A and B are shown apart, each in its own frame.
Chain A
Amino acid sequence: MDIRVQAEPFDFGAEAGAFAARQNAMGAVVTFTGIVRDLPDGGLRAMEIEHYPGMTEKAIEAIAEEAADRWNTGDLLVIHRYGPLAPGEMIMMVATSAPHRSDAFQAAEFLMDFLKSRAPFWKKEMAQDGADWVAARDEDEDALTRW
């Protein structure tokens, strides 16, 4: 299990490649990456991501351990950035491995659903005409009930 909370960018291709290369008995690797989405009018200057140092790492670790308990996974990787990010930059990635693809897909979805609303991150959109905290969506909270 590899969990990193960092301000620095990460190299998605290199991380995904290295993750896949260290799986021996695993037949499947699933990756997901989240990207800073521009506003519909193209007016996003930056996305500021705040987090709760200390709790963030613990919360992600607990989510990852839960995923490893529920599915037959081999390895899990979570990288999540904080600080100011430009539109198009990668915010975070997860990678999961499992003997068969179903466990890898489900573990990745579970990780994403819980990272979204149970890991202490908050996004603020800095637009041309002001700044706004991104509100949590009911759908994201509802997504947790399917697990």
Chain B
Amino acid sequence: MTKIEAVIQNSKLEAVKTALQEIGVEGMTVLEVRGHGRQKGHTEVYRGREYSVDLIPKTKIEMVLPDALVEKAEQAILNAARTGKIGDGKIFRSRIDEAIRIRNDERGEGAL
């Protein structure tokens, strides 16, 4: 089982979700996060004082998938989320030791 974490532009969430659902991904967790890679932030001014905002709002999608689905999922995310500009985000892949369904104690890929 493999975990995919994707940090994407907020505006791309709907497109990525749709693309993943179309290839059969059934579960995901979506978080609102702030962060940056190489993308610069911006400056806000309140009452004459400048505030630099370098943690940029992004959306993070996490999902744990059967190994067979991983490459298709990553490709779906890449196609749906890419704009070609800095700030598009990143995908991280890691191994998962175990998955358990809380309702009935089902384990392994069957729990996904």
Instruction: Specify whether A and B are partners.
Output: no
